[in-house]
Structure 1
């Protein structure tokens, strides 16, 4: 039997749809290891179960997956395990042939049958040595003496018919091998795998024959015996469409999911960025408020003592958002100074108070785990020309940190007990708390 040179319009349209679906699937590009494994697990268990169930070997995808994963089966399933493992090995052989290239020969067909029947029958991979009759078939296979020549003829014709659509060629060789029935057993599985070899070589998917279409499959083979190959072609084409649609979905799922997650995370990141920017703006305004209040106190002191500059305030460059964020992330950075307050008396070297931005957990030993990421102003005191010691606790200036917050400020003291607890205050009260200690240190009060 030759492959049909002319197809009905309906079948021709079906094959065009198959081509379009394949091209769309291939347009997704090369897949990574994860996607290839997903495709393998999406198709191989069903194909193995289907091809065995058609032959009366009762197996389900669960058992097939167990064998694929190397899991031990119950003793009652040991025969099935051999059948499943053999078909897995046969599929692996087909994959290798597709990947490395092949010429269709009787020896190759024998190799496929050997993989299917090894450890089951002694004649695995050998052409049959007796005549057979196929149950329910209208045509009798050739006598065993002619099998090898007939298989060689099929292989020679296959090369001559390569101008046909791959689905047509796959259906044709499937039917030819089924008719010849060249082996003692495993003929159907061998024919379906050679069919899939032809399909996969043309970058279609191996589809086998679905078990639920078993009767339709037998009917199509019987129709082909009378010269009409179109029902078998249509069955394989429809299976191809279904498989390609599923494969495209499986292949795209990780990308679609990744894109969706990316969109979700983008929204989350944007929301987090906006929240961070709002928090920074509030912090910056509070710091400006505190610094301005400190400058007001300095000016008022100067007026009260008739021009004596007891207190001077030096401002440093405002802390930008990225520096503030780095402090939140790392705890501290260099050059995070906000303001320096100089306190002096004409007859003394005086001292200075530095306000430097630092994450709150790097300043105080109080349990502030729920506010771990807050950026506060550390209060550091240096006498005269001494350098600032960020670990030094001055006995007079007991304020260790001023924390800008939505409701104002919190003042953290270094003394133990209740006095060391935080206290929410206004900017005026925060400066007063700071300068009260400074006044004691300067000897302005006792």
Structure 2
């Protein structure tokens, strides 16, 4: 049994959290949206939880270290390890949240082992062998000799059945663990990991205690040492509200923007398919897939840069074509979409067009309707350069520089999109 108490005045908020959780679980979100929210939490929790403990990495720097493996000049190796370790520990609790296994003392030690990995190997996952004091509070944690027994009792409660609201359970575990303070270092980060694991196991979204919550957070922990966890429950509920808002915003975008757009486009594509030939349908589908691959490449490349210092790479929308436009394409080039790039003052706006059979360089594409990316001349490259291709089922036959010996057959959509963006970015760099 635990010894904690809390005010009945928070009961309405607990009921509200339960209802929001139920609504969230009833919402079907696409995997890409769920993954985006997961990445948001992973970076924001890593940054804020470490910042509470004094880590000097900024939020963009944390993202660069965790996602891109970049070393930040002027920041300590310990700062870097803390970011990477905590992100890996979050991967662990995500895995534990999806299992039916009983949680216990061993799981807590495993979390802590990851938190201090490569920072303090001797103490990673090992209970402290010295007595400690917590700065800024009169509270004195149990003596080192008492820690194993205290943690055994805590682990038994953690593994047992619970009747309290999941948010209250989260607050009990968080404060009880911090009261024991079982490790020499890393107790705060481990306690916040454990709190989130318990929420996630009950299908609640994970929370991010913010760096600016530090003073309020420490006051809540101080109050909990006397057994009153009301302040910790209230803080947890406030941050849970923030997490709910992130998920609900994504859900609104799905129901208010994406689903109506899908319905509309499905209707339009249905009309288009009914009005066009099978030859056009195959060609247009190949171009549509290529367009999507170009968009995806641009998004992934921009994500490699920290916010506020990203180049802008954009693919304009692909128009909905009908048999009427298809007839025009068979006679003359037809603009399809543009590739736009901006980086450090340099700008390019490249044209991607359809070309009629035989309308390519030297008439090389007599066998079918093609596509063309035009790269205007620059000082570094004094003549226009064109990359042309003809869809051949799920692949492309590609011609570059007007040399038929350079024709490549069976180039995948992904490879062709990569080649197009590579040429576009090289052109962008030459315009500086």
TM-score (norm 2): 0.60
Seen in structure 2, the aligned counterparts of structure 1 residues 360 and 196 have a Cα distance that, compared at 3 Å, is closer
Where do residues 183-222 of structure 1 align in structure 2 (5 Å cutoff)? 183-222=183-222
- Structure-2 residue corresponding to 1:225: 225
- Structure-1 residue corresponding to 2:119: 120
Residues 1:239 and 2:202 are matched in the alignment: no
Contact 1:39 1:251 in 2 (8 A): no
Contact 2:4 2:228 in 1 (8 A): no
Once the 2 structures are TM-superposed, how far is the Cα of residue 103 of structure 1 from its aligned partner? 2.3
Measured against aligned partners, the alpha-carbon deviations of 1:126-151 in whole angstroms (never above 9, x if no partner) come to: 00010001112232111101101101
Distance 2:136 2:196 in 1: 25
Where do residues 289-304 of structure 1 align in structure 2 (5 Å cutoff)? none
Once the 2 structures are TM-superposed, how far is the Cα of residue 244 of structure 1 from its aligned partner? 1.1
Picking from 315, 320, 332, the partner of 1:369 is 332
Once the 2 structures are TM-superposed, how far is the Cα of residue 237 of structure 1 from its aligned partner? 1.3
- Structure-2 residue corresponding to 1:3: 4
1:231 match: secondary structure: helix
Once the 2 structures are TM-superposed, how far is the Cα of residue 259 of structure 1 from its aligned partner? 2.2
Distance 1:162 1:22 in 2: 18
- Structure-2 residue corresponding to 1:39: 37
Contact 2:24 2:248 in 1 (8 A): yes
Larger RCO (CA within 8 A; separation ≥ 6): 2
Residues 1:141 and 2:141 are matched in the alignment: yes
Q: Which entry has the higher C-alpha Rg, 1 or 2?
A: 1
Count of residues in correspondence between the two structures: 288
Contact 1:205 1:244 in 2 (8 A): yes
Seen in structure 2, the aligned counterparts of structure 1 residues 80 and 361 have a Cα distance that, compared at 3 Å, is closer
Once the 2 structures are TM-superposed, how far is the Cα of residue 260 of structure 1 from its aligned partner? 3.9
Contact 2:4 2:227 in 1 (8 A): no
Range moving further from structure 2, 249-258 or 132-141 = 249-258
- Structure-2 residue corresponding to 1:84: 83
- Structure-2 residue corresponding to 1:74: 72
Distance 1:49 1:360 in 2: 52
Seen in structure 2, the aligned counterparts of structure 1 residues 265 and 233 have a Cα distance that, compared at 3 Å, is same
Seen in structure 2, the aligned counterparts of structure 1 residues 87 and 369 have a Cα distance that, compared at 3 Å, is same
Contact 1:161 1:169 in 2 (8 A): no
Where do residues 295-374 of structure 1 align in structure 2 (5 Å cutoff)? 326=277, 369=332
Distance 1:268 1:238 in 2: 44
Distance 2:249 2:108 in 1: 33
Contact 2:104 2:159 in 1 (8 A): no
Once the 2 structures are TM-superposed, how far is the Cα of residue 156 of structure 1 from its aligned partner? 1.6
Measured against aligned partners, the alpha-carbon deviations of 1:192-214 in whole angstroms (never above 9, x if no partner) come to: 11111111111112214221111
Contact 1:50 1:209 in 2 (8 A): yes
Contact 2:43 2:63 in 1 (8 A): yes
TM-score (norm 1): 0.58
Contact 1:21 1:245 in 2 (8 A): no
Distance 1:165 1:157 in 2: 15
- Structure-1 residue corresponding to 2:312: none
**Structure 1 residue runs without a partner (length 5+):** 277-321, 331-357, 372-446
CA RMSD of aligned residues (A): 3.1
Seen in structure 2, the aligned counterparts of structure 1 residues 75 and 163 have a Cα distance that, compared at 3 Å, is same
Measured against aligned partners, the alpha-carbon deviations of 1:40-61 in whole angstroms (never above 9, x if no partner) come to: 1222211111100110112222
**Structure 2 residue runs without a partner (length 5+):** 282-322, 335-432
Once the 2 structures are TM-superposed, how far is the Cα of residue 38 of structure 1 from its aligned partner? 0.8
Distance 1:167 1:186 in 2: 23
